[in-house]
Amino acid sequence: MTPNTEILGPARNRVDGPLKVTGRAKYAVEFEVPRCVHAWPVVSNLAKGTITAIDSKAAESAPGVLKVLTHQNAPKPDEAKSKKKEVTRASGIRIEDRNPLSDDQVHYAGQYVALVVAQTLEQARYAASLVRVSYAPEKPTLTMAEAAEQAQEPKKNQEENVQPKKGDVNPALANQSLVRLRETYSTPTETHNPIEMSGTIAAWEGDDKLTVWNATQFVKGVQSLLARTYDLDLENVRVICPFVGGAFGCKGAVWPHELLATMAAKVVGVPVKFHVPRKEMFTATGHRTPTSQTLALAATHDGKLQAMQHVSQTLTSPVGEWTESCGARSTAVMYASPAIRVEEIVYPVNVATPTFMRAPGECPGVYALECALDELSYLLQIDPVELRLTNYADNHPIKDVPFSAKHLKEAYQLGAEKFGWSKRSAQPGSMRDSELLVGWGMATCTYPAHKMAAAAKAILRADGSATVQCATHDLGTGAYTAFTQISSEQLGVPFEKVTFELGKSDYPFGPVAGGSNSTGTVGTAIHEVAGLLHQALAVLATKDPKSPLHNLQPNEIAMVAPGRIGLKNDPLKSDSYADILQRAGKESIAVESKLEEPEENEKMAFQSWGAHFCEVKIDPLLPRVQVTRVVTVIDCGRVVTYKPARSQILGGVVMGIGMALHEETAYDPHTGLPATANLADYHVPTNADIPQIDVHFVGEPDFAFNPIGARGIGEIGITGIAAAVANAVYHATGKRVRDLPITPDKLLS
Amino acid sequence: MTPFTYSRASDPQSAIEGVAANAQAKFLGGGTNLVDLMKMGVETPAQLVDINRLALTQVEELPNNGGVRIGALVRNSDLAEHQLITARYPVLSEALLSGASPQLRNLATTGGNLLQRTRCYYFYDPAFPMCNKRNPGSGCGALEGYNRIHAILGQSEQCIATHPSDMCVAMAALDAVVRVQGPQGERTIPFADFHRLPGATPNIETNLRPNELITAVDLPAMPLATRSHYLKVRDRASYAFALVSVAAILEMDRGTIRSARVALGGVAHKPWRATQAEKKLAGQQPNETTFRAAAEAELAAAKGYKYNSFKIELAKRAIRQALTTVATMA
């Protein structure tokens, strides 16, 4: 069969929609595990110091309390000392290196210092309030300035070079005949805040079998990590997570609560549930680090970039390594320039450990670069879209290889047309809607195409139904629906007859649901297992004298139509799945694909693109920014299922509007305690903050990237939108706010 | 949450007796604030006396004078939509609907909203060591801390928290009267005297006496209170506490302001009646110059801190905008 070259897949309703809206979708901590007891944490109220004493007597004698775990009595499982040392891609992710309750040191406010286990949640919570912890406090390091001496310049972030450069930026940046700009943009700490908080139910069977129901983006990683931590055989650790209520990165790594729940369950001898409280979601499962990014640009008077320099300064914690690679993922990728220089500096401070959050690096990096380009467009008096077209990169600027299927020009064109960009008056403050200032801004968005390794199992039944399994995840993104669609197409089984199963470590390997890789990676595994299934059917058919395919070579045979395999070069010679199985007397057949590292194509660069166009309206007297229109056009290869894909872009844009206008985890400047650690004070957009968002897709399936043609869609929507909003705010007011979020106070003067 | 006992009162007298019998007892109304604070460990009552079954749920016209009496257990959503309120005191309806979310308004009561406690971060989270409200004498963490949402008028070195209610700002402008019942019988408290400025005792937030129960709020007759507006400035379009809010009522007489009632929210430890602004407005023409003078007069004594100085300018602008809106009403 020829591959589907349509850019838009069908607009499927979510296959898990009925379960979700009727409350039957079971999230990790909702599983009813017999004899399960509850844990509640005690956290540090200071950012740095040594625990000198813990008085847990009152807590221990409180009703229902089974155990108060502290560093003095907690088991010390240690992955680093594991005998099960196989380090593979399946080994799981740790961002915070320190094991909870491993010693008396406090590295940040909110660090777990004890865990109370009791029969009921309220008993545990009350007893936790009775634990008295004494400290020898030390002065915490809380700012970049205070941490200057500990600054590090990371060379690599995972495998990626994070200090890339090309040519020499200095001559152009010093050249007074060029149009030059140097500005610093800052973003605050942002916290993921999925509606489903992280949580774990841990149940031991003896000492060597462990089951965890765990809210996670990586069931196989949790399985592997726990197996090593407790020296267990991999198959004796089961991880179950059929639904995830949002994650955005905070459920990708293994955090202290997973270790605490499993430790506690081992100690008390019955299953333990630890559902991370909302407040601790701000300190114990990561956040997006604040950034300070300085952009220096130099361009000719007709707008050709001659040099781009991007220096990012970010924070990490003393016990975790995190690099938010802003410049490497924006300035090193997006525009043609003869000289590019990206630098990163990371400062360890006594604040909880940051982690990846939706488009880590790209999201703040594209914000800063796209604001700087907007500023440059005013200096040059060139339309912002025109400036981007002037510096359009057909090749990857650093790798100097072509992009596989880049359709960004079409995205600009369609976006501008749908938005009505040609009617924009360039002068800031020149557009009005009666009393209100009107601003139109735009920005490019981009996200790389990542591929990882996955395997899948397919079961085809004589009744025409099929089940496909992979230990992948649906974070609320619509993955169930997308994989059902891919399975239907690849297997040749009607959509309604396919069941896709995920979220269990029992299934073949699926990678972390991160980096927008799942659709392409798992889709490729489904493609492979479909080929194996067709071959298995071909073997049956060619041995069957009653089959039209009898005595042909199985390798000449492939799927020729849904439900039929046949001769590749003579599709009229074919047989149906149902007939083959029926004649062979088989109820079903099952095949499983092999887990193999994907081939890397070094001759091309794979990247998704898009453009946001945004309108804001602002009352000049009381300047709260209201976004009134957004048009977003995305080029992400094939869109497997239109409806959930569009929703992913909507969600990214909404989150990006939040980044632009609302979100900030603020800290007390003296104690380092988070001040806005709840959903009343940590503002995300409400419905009233969000306008109609018009989403379009352009481009072509990217078959050079993978056989599904899809490059993934989870993260690209959030990149660039904060810049589009900030640029619109400048266009409306003439005031350039370079410090997110753009709250009313910043527009008052 | 600290363990507590629970009882349900059937009439005000037994509720008052129930609370009086235990020094650590509290009345439980809608619970939207109290239960939240109990979970945070800020409030630790040993007993809750549930008053939700008391017959204090009516909104009714007062005999003779045309005023309205609001039962203490009238829910915010019911009050906001009540015909007597939308017709006679639309500023109160606007204020209520600008607060919280529909779910919270469905539970929150009139009496409870009078006692809503501050959203000051340093008060709300006992992890912060300093708060003179929670722990008198411990100091004010906000004074030198992250004080973006804090007070600019009437604060003290001991406390710079603000009162978070929108409803109360409108009631302050409307000269409401709070009716209470206690062990010594019933009494009334003018709205301006109900809440206190922090002074040296920010832990004492109202002039309620021990074991007194709010039974109703009376709104005096105000035939011209329909020319009014509640303006709330916040960080997002909905579901956020006010950075600054203004309740404004203008009584006009042939193109001149006969009298003005202005109250501010988000700026002080109590709903702030803007008497300086009112003086500047009375007898004047309703124009930009007048409104500017009123705003300047009210904020003349304002003092900002590291993160909240913007509120001074914002409050001035909000006053001007609210007055302009009211003045240009048909």
| CB contact (8 A) between residue A744 and residue B146 | no
pLDDT one-digit tens code per residue, B103-161 = 999 999 999 999 999 999 999 999 999 999 999 999 999 999 999 999 999 999 999 99
A365 phi, psi to nearest 5 deg: -65, -50
Of residues A446, A64, A128, the one with CA closest to residue A280? A128
Partner A contacted by B321 (CB < 8 A)? yes
Please name the residues in contact with B126: beta carbons below 8 A apart, sequence gap of 6 or more: B40, B41, B42, B134
DSSP A627-662: EEEEEEEEE-B-BSSHHHHHHHHHHHHHHHHHHHHT
Q: Half-sphere exposure of residue A56, counting CA atoms within 13 Å on the CB side? A: 20
Q: What is the number of structural domains in chain B?
A: 2
Chain B residues lying within 8 Å of A621, measured CB to CB? 317, 320-321
> With contact defined as beta carbons under 8 Å apart, do A173 and A338 qualify?
no
B254 phi, psi to nearest 5 deg: 45, 55
> With contact defined as beta carbons under 8 Å apart, do B38 and B44 qualify?
yes
Task: Provide the phi-psi class of B239: left if phi over 0, else alpha when psi is between -120 and 50, else beta.
Answer: left
Report yes or no on B216 lying in a domain.
Answer: no
Residue A87, pLDDT > 50, answer: no
State CA A556 to chain mean position distance. Answer: 41
Amino acid at A191: T
pTM over 0.80: yes
Q: For residue A274, count CB atoms less than 10 angstroms from its CB and return exposed for 0-12, middle for 13-18, buried for 19 or more.
A: buried
Chain B residues lying within 8 Å of A676, measured CB to CB? 121
Partner A contacted by B235 (CB < 8 A)? yes
Residue A88, pLDDT > 60, answer: no
Report yes or no on B259 lying in a domain.
Answer: yes
| CB contact (8 A) between residue A621 and residue B320 | yes
State CA A411 to chain mean position distance. Answer: 23
B38, B53, B68: which is the final residue of a domain? Answer: B53
Residue B264, pLDDT > 70, answer: yes
The pairs formed by A121-124 with CB atoms below 8 angstroms and a separation of 24 or more are A121/A38, A121/A40, A121/A275, A122/B1, A123/A38, A123/A62, A123/A63, A123/A64, A123/A65, A124/A37, A124/A38, A124/A39, A124/A40, A124/A64, A124/A65
CA distance B254 to A453: 80
Residue A57 binned pLDDT confidence (cut-offs 50, 70, 90) = very high
pLDDT one-digit tens code per residue, A220-257 = 999 999 999 999 999 999 999 999 999 999 999 999 99
Q: How far away is chain A from the Cα of B69, in angstroms, using its nearest Cα? A: 32
Q: Provide mean pLDDT across the span B46-75.
A: 95
Residue A558, pLDDT > 50, answer: yes
Partner A contacted by B164 (CB < 8 A)? no
Residue B86 sits at the vertex; the CA angle it makes with B84 and B91, to the nearest 5 degrees, is 120
| CB contact (8 A) between residue B235 and residue A743 | yes
> With contact defined as beta carbons under 8 Å apart, do A212 and A292 qualify?
no
Instruction: Give catalytic residues of A, as residue numbers.
Output: 715
pLDDT one-digit tens code per residue, A286-310 = 999 999 999 999 999 999 999 999 9
DSSP B65-103: T--EEEETT-BHHHHHH-HHHHHH-HHHHHHHHTSS-HH
A-proximal residues of B, 47-86, CB under 8 Å: none
DSSP B179-207: EEEETTEEEEEEHHHHB---TT-TT--B-
DSSP A447-490: EE--------EEEEETTS-EEEE-B---SSSSHHHHHHHHHHHH
Residue of A nearest to B318 (CA): A622
Interface A–B counts its CB contacts (< 8 A) at 96
**What is the SS3 string spanning A289-314?**
CCEEEEEEEEECCCCCEEEEEEEEEE
pLDDT one-digit tens code per residue, A253-274 = 999 999 999 999 999 999 999 9
Output B224 or A395, whichever has higher pLDDT: A395
Chain A residues lying within 8 Å of B240, measured CB to CB? 683
> With contact defined as beta carbons under 8 Å apart, do A437 and A617 qualify?
yes
Segments making up each domain of chain A, as ranges: 17-23+452-592, 361-450+602-747
Q: Provide mean pLDDT across the span A170-175.
A: 98
| CB contact (8 A) between residue B237 and residue A680 | no
Among all chains, which residue has been given the structure tokens 């997110």? A740
Q: Radius of gyration of chain B from Cα atoms?
A: 19
Of residues B176, B324, B191, the one with CA closest to residue B248? B324
| CB contact (8 A) between residue A622 and residue B317 | yes
Residue B65 binned pLDDT confidence (cut-offs 50, 70, 90) = confident
Range of the domain at B30: 5-53
CA distance A135 to A53: 7
Which of A126, A621, A669 minimises the CB distance to B321?
A621
pLDDT one-digit tens code per residue, A336-368 = 999 999 999 999 999 999 999 999 999 999 999
List alpha helices for A254-392, DSSP H: 256-268, 362-380, 384-390
- pLDDT on residue A5: 65
> With contact defined as beta carbons under 8 Å apart, do A686 and A516 qualify?
no
Q: Which two three-digit tokens encode residue B142?
A: 């906000």
Chain B residues lying within 8 Å of A671, measured CB to CB? 128-129, 141
Q: Provide mean pLDDT across the span B2-13.
A: 96
* In CATH, A361-450+602-747 is 3.30.365.10: yes
On the question of a cis peptide bond just before residue A741, with omega within 30 degrees of 0, the verdict is yes
Partner A contacted by B102 (CB < 8 A)? no
Q: How far away is chain B from the Cα of A381, in angstroms, using its nearest Cα? A: 33
DSSP A19-58: HHHTT-SPPGGGS--TT-EEEEEEE-SSSSEEEEEEE-HH
Amino acid at B86: T
How many residues belong to chain B? 330
| CB contact (8 A) between residue A621 and residue B237 | no
| CB contact (8 A) between residue A671 and residue B1 | no
Amino acid at B175: D
Report yes or no on B110 lying in a domain.
Answer: no
Report yes or no on B36 lying in a domain.
Answer: yes
CA distance B192 to A206: 67
Report yes or no on B42 lying in a domain.
Answer: yes
Residue B226, pLDDT > 80, answer: no
Partner A contacted by B304 (CB < 8 A)? no
Say which CATH topology domain A17-23+452-592 has.
Answer: Aldehyde Oxidoreductase; domain 4 (3.30.365)
| CB contact (8 A) between residue B237 and residue A688 | yes
**Eight-state DSSP code of residue A2:** P
pLDDT one-digit tens code per residue, B157-182 = 999 999 999 999 999 999 999 999 99
> Mutate which of A44, A111, A621 to disrupt the B interface (most B C-beta within 10 Å)?
A621
Please name the residues in contact with B61: beta carbons below 8 A apart, sequence gap of 6 or more: B67, B68, B69, B84
Report yes or no on B323 lying in a domain.
Answer: yes
CA distance B269 to B203: 11
Residue A327 sits at the vertex; the CA angle it makes with A323 and A332, to the nearest 5 degrees, is 130
- pLDDT on residue A86: 58
Other C-beta atoms within 10 Å of A463: how many? 11
CA distance B45 to B26: 6
A-proximal residues of B, 118-157, CB under 8 Å: 119, 121-122, 125, 127-129, 141, 144-146, 148
DSSP-assigned beta bridge partners for residue B28: B50
CATH number where B280 lies:
3.30.390.50
DSSP A188-257: --B----SS--EEEEEEETTTEEEEEE--S-HHHHHHHHHHHTT--GGGEEEE-S--S--TTTTSS--HH
CA distance A698 to A692: 20
CA distance A76 to A189: 32
Of residues B66, B272, B73, the one with CA closest to residue B171? B272
Chain B residues lying within 8 Å of A126, measured CB to CB? 1-3
Q: Half-sphere exposure of residue A353, counting CA atoms within 13 Å on the CB side? A: 25
CA distance B94 to B61: 20
pLDDT one-digit tens code per residue, A689-740 = 999 999 999 999 999 999 999 999 999 999 999 999 999 999 999 999 999 9
The sign of the torsion formed by the CA atoms of A411, A412, A413, A418 equals: positive
- pLDDT on residue A2: 55
Pairing of strands A564-567, B228-233: unpaired
Q: For residue B138, count CB atoms less than 10 angstroms from its CB and return exposed for 0-12, middle for 13-18, buried for 19 or more.
A: middle
DSSP-assigned beta bridge partners for residue A561: A564
* Domain A17-23+452-592 and domain A361-450+602-747 have a common topology: yes
> With contact defined as beta carbons under 8 Å apart, do A455 and A508 qualify?
yes
- pLDDT on residue A90: 62
Q: For residue A157, count CB atoms less than 10 angstroms from its CB and return exposed for 0-12, middle for 13-18, buried for 19 or more.
A: buried
Please name the residues in contact with B149: beta carbons below 8 A apart, sequence gap of 6 or more: B119, B120, B121, B162, B241, B243, B266, B308
| CB contact (8 A) between residue A624 and residue B314 | no
Report yes or no on B68 lying in a domain.
Answer: no
CA distance A344 to A327: 8
Chain A residues lying within 8 Å of B310, measured CB to CB? 744-745, 748
Q: Which two three-digit tokens encode residue A543?
A: 């041995």
Of residues A289, A280, A295, the one with CA closest to residue A360? A289
Q: How far away is chain B from the Cα of A130, in angstroms, using its nearest Cα? A: 10
Amino acid at A735: K
